[in-house]
Structure 1
Amino acid sequence: MRTFPTLAAWLAHLETAHPVGIDMGLARVRRVQEALDLTLDCPVITVAGTNGKGSTCTLLESILLAGGYKVGCHTSPHLLTFNERARVNGESASDAALLPHFEAVERARAGLREPVSLTYFEFTLLAILRLFATSGLDVAILEVGLGGRLDATNIVDADVAVITSIDIDHTQYLGHTREEIGLEKAGIFRAGRPAIVGDPLPPESVIRYAQSLGADLWLVGRDFRYETIEGDRQQWSYLGRSANRRALAFPALRGANQLLNTTAALAALEALRARLPVTAQDVRNGLATVDLPGRFQVLAGRPTTILDVAHNPHAAAVLAQNLGSMGYFPFTHAVFGAMEDKDIERIVATLKDDIDHWYVTDLPTPRAASAARLGAVARDALGAAALATPDHSVSEFAAPELAYKAALERVTESDRIVVFGSFVTVAGVMSYRRLQQH
């Protein structure tokens, strides 16, 4: 069997070990799971959705940690280090903690009568699940990578399944309509178990599938909801099937959709309350301390800088709404990089009225759209008349940090900078800022 001395070496190997980066299906990963005899002996919450998955997972984790539970939380992708994907008790797992599980997965994979090849996501997920299985957890939270039905996380039967939102993304794998995509995401539901749907307008395919399966379907607006008092930005209430939580502070995560994400998280906890009870104070403490970089993250200092991993039209619309609620800024400068398979035209069209100066960038991955392509889309959206004035511009750069440096050179203290798009875009700027601070 092949082995490597460091986590970095393992990850470099896995980048190219499988013929394609995304290979939907559970047969290969299940064979290795069975060889590992891998099961989780604790309640599992699985979270799918087009947007809001990471926020919902982190909200659940924060509340459950506040309740004194030992929590494992798997999220993806990561921003700065792979270890972010595997948190135990709120802390990222160390390289040393992860290495034995990478070796165990490789031993099981290579030891099969007919060895299978695993993608980077499949292999690392199995290693993280094995870490969780040996950590004495009270609860595990799993963020789905892509879709649901054929995603590797679906080898684990969720005690509670959550769908945060359903929109058009990853069409080459999931389908071209919300009905098709919704059905793929609903694949994480299980018969007789709670299925929480936080999308206010779920596709009929999700409802029909839940009913045909015999899942316990919870719909936002029907089984649970949130209430605010107009003009009151201090508190809100969760109203569930049999549990209400009133006079809650707004979550520490900023942005228009975070109340919806928090409501779905509280519904999941209500569904699990017999096994994982949490108090009103646990909820308050969890909402007050929750932290997730890159989700409408407003950095301290001037000029105002926002980091947001909005990388599809649905997320771009939420970002536009959040930018619009921030008050007046003379000019908005945006650093933008995205993957080639995204609906770049719709993302740019959604945000063109909120952004004056575009700094589009190449990204260090073959999946990325080129800065030239992004620039052409932005110029087409803005139009020749706007670009003829000094109030609008589009510039192209070879890397996110170069685009960000150019924005810093042009921006005034009363302007703002928005860094958005792919996780790789936001990570590039975060890494640059970290280096400058040290």
Structure 2
Amino acid sequence: MSPTPHTLDGWLAHAELLHARVIDLGLERVQAVRAAMQLQFTCPVITVAGTNGKGSTCAMLEAILMAAGYRVGVYNSPHLVHFEERCRIAGQTVNAQDLLPHFAAVEQARLTAGVGAAAVSLSYFEFTTLAILSLLASQRLDAVILEVGLGGRLDAVNIIDTDCAIITSIDLDHMEFLGPDRESIGREKAGIMRAAKPAIVSDPQAPQSVQDHAEDIGADLWLAGRDFHYTHLPQQWGWQGRAQRRHSLAFPALRGANQLLNASGVLAALEALQAALPVAAQAVREGFARAELPGRFQVLAGQPTLVLDVGHNPHAIAVLAENLDSMGYFPVTHAVFGAMADKDIPGMLRRMLPLIDVWHLCDLPTPRAASAKELAAHLLALKPDARIAQHPDPLQALRAAAAAVELTDRIVVFGSFYTVGGVMQEGLPRLHGKHLVSSPQ
């Protein structure tokens, strides 16, 4: 038997070695360990699934509930730079030291929950999810927000019964696990719904499978455009739910053309939960104004302009392109791009081609990634005269882009959490002319 790890890095390395498959959807193994841990929550739980918009939805919910005076715990994934980013309690990222006893508790339960002498085999995601859920359950919280990692029905987060499900936009991603079309993917994401509990769907064109599943299990379905909707005015926006109206709202601090869809779903969830978690109008205003989420159309201060976005599927890239279009004129736009090999790389590139003048393609530190050379081949197939440079990692790609730009130009870093996280390894990147500097995050 290997010695018990005493550091977070040690536990993460241990978790990586436990299971043969990186992604192994299914709840039987993780449920067995959860039962052995007697893991449960006594406060309202909000579970958020969807293809895009999950992180923004969680961030706005957290900010509003905190502004209302509630003590809130959040689990989201993946992280950008440090594993601890996956969990926040009362707005603060957890300390590595605080996670250690919960990793030990998962390991102890894993060893005792198996059949006979065999321990339960958990994937890295399952092991770390259980540890973070254990930490959250040990806190005195008023609300817990859980972001689904992949899909919904068979994701490890779904071992916890939600008090309110939120499903954000549904599009084509992870098709090898979730199915070939929006109906199949919607059916998987609808698996987070629970009978007689509110299920908020902020996608204005929800697949029929989502509506059918809600009806089949008797969930309280809130559909965008039917049960709630928003009005976009030039300087403000308004929202109407089943019984509540919210007028003259300032636009959320989170940038992007899609954020009102996410914000609208957040307000529907708050109305659905008002008996358990009442929220005043001022808390809504403060929360929308304070919400932050690194790497989601994040425009950093300085010149030249630097934009970070973790978009990694064609739908997210279409939103990014729309947001970039709305920024105004830049003589030259450079891109730093790295992506996973299993993504629709041509679909992402095709949408960005009209906006990008120079491409800085990079390798990423994971075997799942496409190499810079492979990305270049995709790009040249679409645009034979594309201006391309290849780099061994995102930070070197950003340094090369910074050396090539003028003050009035723009750099966009996108394509994966690894790409954006890679340029943030030394802190939040800042551009001062052709010099790249980093500031603490």
TM-score by length of 1: 0.96
Matched residue SS, 2:398: helix
Inter-partner Cα distance in structure 2 for 1:250 and 1:3: 49
Inter-partner Cα distance in structure 1 for 2:15 and 2:201: 34
Inter-partner Cα distance in structure 1 for 2:416 and 2:134: 29
Hey, what does 2:205 align to over in structure 1?
201
Hey, what does 1:54 align to over in structure 2?
55
Is structure 2 residue 366 aligned with structure 1 residue 365?
yes
Matches within 5 A, 1:426-437: 426-432=420-426, 434=428, 436-437=437-438
Is structure 2 residue 138 aligned with structure 1 residue 134?
yes
Inter-partner Cα distance in structure 2 for 1:373 and 1:212: 45
Hey, what does 1:93 align to over in structure 2?
94
**Residues 113 and 290 of structure 1: CA distance in aligned 2, closer, same or farther (over 3 Å):** closer
Hey, what does 1:393 align to over in structure 2?
387
Is structure 2 residue 117 aligned with structure 1 residue 123?
no
Hey, what does 2:78 align to over in structure 1?
77
Q: Which moved more, 1:107-116 or 1:33-42?
A: 107-116
Aligned amino acid, residue 363 of structure 2: D
Matched residue SS, 2:136: helix
Matches within 5 A, 1:15-414: 15-114=16-115, 115-229=119-233, 232=234, 234-383=235-384, 387=385, 392-414=386-408
CA contact (8 A) 1:191 1:213 kept: yes
Aligned amino acid, residue 18 of structure 1: H
Matched residue SS, 1:427: helix
Inter-partner Cα distance in structure 1 for 2:21 and 2:323: 36
Inter-partner Cα distance in structure 1 for 2:70 and 2:356: 43
Aligned amino acid, residue 359 of structure 1: H
Aligned amino acid, residue 308 of structure 1: D
Is structure 2 residue 422 aligned with structure 1 residue 418?
no
CA contact (8 A) 2:228 2:242 kept: yes
CA contact (8 A) 1:45 1:159 kept: yes
Aligned amino acid, residue 291 of structure 1: E
Inter-partner Cα distance in structure 2 for 1:253 and 1:195: 24
Matched residue SS, 1:40: coil
CA deviation after TM superposition for structure 1 residue 112, in Å = 2.4
Inter-partner Cα distance in structure 2 for 1:274 and 1:367: 45
Inter-partner Cα distance in structure 1 for 2:428 and 2:237: 36
Matched residue SS, 1:335: strand
Identity %: 59
Inter-partner Cα distance in structure 2 for 1:311 and 1:47: 19
**Residues 318 and 113 of structure 1: CA distance in aligned 2, closer, same or farther (over 3 Å):** closer
Cα deviation digits, residues 351-403 of structure 1 (max 9, x gap)? 111111111111010000111111111122223xxx2xxxx501111111111
Inter-partner Cα distance in structure 2 for 1:433 and 1:303: 18
CA contact (8 A) 2:195 2:220 kept: yes
CA contact (8 A) 1:44 1:140 kept: yes
Aligned amino acid, residue 397 of structure 2: A
Aligned amino acid, residue 202 of structure 1: A
Matched residue SS, 1:259: helix
Inter-partner Cα distance in structure 2 for 1:113 and 1:315: 40
Cα deviation digits, residues 90-109 of structure 1 (max 9, x gap)? 10111121111110110111
Inter-partner Cα distance in structure 2 for 1:298 and 1:27: 42
CA deviation after TM superposition for structure 1 residue 340, in Å = 0.7
CA contact (8 A) 1:358 1:378 kept: no
Inter-partner Cα distance in structure 1 for 2:113 and 2:310: 39
CA contact (8 A) 2:114 2:120 kept: no
Cα deviation digits, residues 159-218 of structure 1 (max 9, x gap)? 000100100000110001000000000000111111100111111111111111111110
Aligned amino acid, residue 253 of structure 1: L
Matched residue SS, 1:237: strand
Cα deviation digits, residues 275-320 of structure 1 (max 9, x gap)? 0000000001101111100000000000000000010000000001
Inter-partner Cα distance in structure 2 for 1:67 and 1:112: 40
CA deviation after TM superposition for structure 1 residue 437, in Å = 3.1
Aligned amino acid, residue 397 of structure 1: H
Cα deviation digits, residues 14-34 of structure 1 (max 9, x gap)? 123211110000000000000
> What 5-or-longer segments of structure 1 have no aligned partner?
none
CA deviation after TM superposition for structure 1 residue 329, in Å = 0.4
Matched residue SS, 1:359: strand
**Residues 278 and 256 of structure 1: CA distance in aligned 2, closer, same or farther (over 3 Å):** same
Kindly tell me the number of residue pairs found equivalent between the two proteins.
Answer: 428
Matched residue SS, 2:226: coil
Inter-partner Cα distance in structure 2 for 1:190 and 1:334: 42
Matched residue SS, 2:120: coil
Matched residue SS, 1:431: coil
Cα deviation digits, residues 261-287 of structure 1 (max 9, x gap)? 111111111100000000000001101
Inter-partner Cα distance in structure 1 for 2:399 and 2:17: 32
CA contact (8 A) 2:80 2:421 kept: yes
CA deviation after TM superposition for structure 1 residue 432, in Å = 4.1
Matched residue SS, 1:17: coil
> What 5-or-longer segments of structure 2 have no aligned partner?
430-436
Cα deviation digits, residues 53-84 of structure 1 (max 9, x gap)? 01101110000000100101000000111111
Aligned amino acid, residue 77 of structure 1: P
